[in-house]
Structure 1
Amino acid sequence: MAINGRNYDWEDIHVALPSGEAVGITEIKYSDSQTIEARYGRGSVPRGYGRGNYEASGSMVLDRDEWERLKIVLAALGGGAIYDHTPFPIIVAYANDDMGNVVDVLRSCKITKFDGAGGSQGDANAGPITCEFTILEPIVWNGVPAKMG
């Protein structure tokens, strides 16, 4: 099979947080969903469907120095407390020379959990922090919203 150019890789991902472009980020994941439930009447075949709520969430792993920068901004956005911050966008851009640019916008994110810190002897990266977040508006997947209004 022939090699047809370079695909997106970690080097091609840029993440913008309220504290600026994240350079000390080692992972970001996000997803959304909306449940569909079959609606039945007489018989055993669905006669339609109902929709559940739209939900979106994500997580990211930050090096300790990146977390410290984000923490200061979140506290400022929350009147001094980290969890009281106002919702903020996270922008994830994928770009390289061989493929088109892709920009996903995670609108109105609220951090819901921090996990990590600490370390052990021999760690080359002590104290990474995992941040989980809820996304309160539909994700815009490269210009296409997951849900309207």
Structure 2
Amino acid sequence: MSHLPLINGQRHSWSSIEVNLLDRIVTGITSISYDDTEMKENHYGAGNMPVHRGRGKYEANASMTLYNYEVEAIQAALPRGQRLMDSPPFDVKVSFLDESNAIITHVIRNCEFKSNNRNMSQGDTKIEVSIDLIVSHIEWN
């Protein structure tokens, strides 16, 4: 790994991210957030220090903000009469370049939309839609 200073101080930026949703590159995305956690706790026995550690359930979360036209395109691709929340499970691939120009890809697995909403106000110049996803797990490259 090179420890040379970064050119222009840049490593990762939004401009190096590409999001693939339902087998197409999504251009009308303004944010994506995803994380996973696993319950862990210390177990105590003799003395005042833990004697072992227990692990519990795994949980992954994701959300994204899309422009309205992207959400409407997804909705239009569904069979007539289906809601956004009725779409079949899909994967979301988030790719970006690392400092060596290698492509890093995170895959958010088995996503489904949990909501469909619109919030608009006088003076808005764009319509953004924030959507929470239910996911099974995240593959971190």
Q: Same fold (TM over 0.5)?
A: yes
Say which SS state the counterpart of residue 67 (structure 1) adopts: helix
Instruction: Name the Cα RMSD after superposition.
Output: 2.4
Displacement, 1:3?
5.0
Rounded to whole Å, the distance in 2 between the matches of 1:42 and 1:20 is: 57
Whole-angstrom distance in 2 between the partners of 1:97 and 1:40:
43
- Contact between 2:11 and 2:99, CA under 8 Å: does it hold in 1? no
Q: Secondary structure at the match of 1:69?
A: helix
Q: Is the 8 A contact 1:40 1:48 kept in 2?
A: yes
* Alignment correspondent of 2:114: 112
- CA shift digits 1:16-66 (9 cap, x unpaired): 111621111000010001010111223332111111111001110000101
- Per the alignment, residue 29 of structure 2 pairs with 25
| Residues in 2 aligned to 1:9 and 1:38: alpha-carbon distance in whole angstroms | 37
Match runs of 1:54-73 below 5 Å: 54-73=58-77
Question: What percent identity do the matched residue pairs reach?
Answer: 30
Return the offset for 1:109: 0.9
Residues 66, 129 of structure 2: 8 Å contact kept: yes
Unaligned runs of 5+ in 2: none
Superposed, 1:1-149 pairs within 5 Å as: 4-5=6-7, 6-18=10-22, 20-73=24-77, 75-76=78-79, 80-95=82-97, 99-115=101-117, 117-125=118-126, 127-136=127-136, 138-142=137-141
Q: TM-score, normalised by structure 1?
A: 0.79
Distance in 2 between the 1:55 and 1:96 partners?
A: 27
Q: Which amino acid aligns with 1:91?
A: K
Q: 1:90 to 1:44 in 2, by over 3 A?
A: same
- Check the 8 A contact 1:16/1:90 in 2, yes or no: yes
1:109 and 1:49, CA in 2 relative to 1: closer, same or farther beyond 3 A?
same
Q: Secondary structure at 2:116's aligned position in 1?
A: strand
Measured against aligned partners, the alpha-carbon deviations of 1:99-125 in whole angstroms (never above 9, x if no partner) come to: 32111111111222334x232222111
TM-score between both structures, scaled by the size of structure 2: 0.83
Moved runs in structure 1, 4+ residues, more than 6 A? none
SS in 2 for 1:31: strand
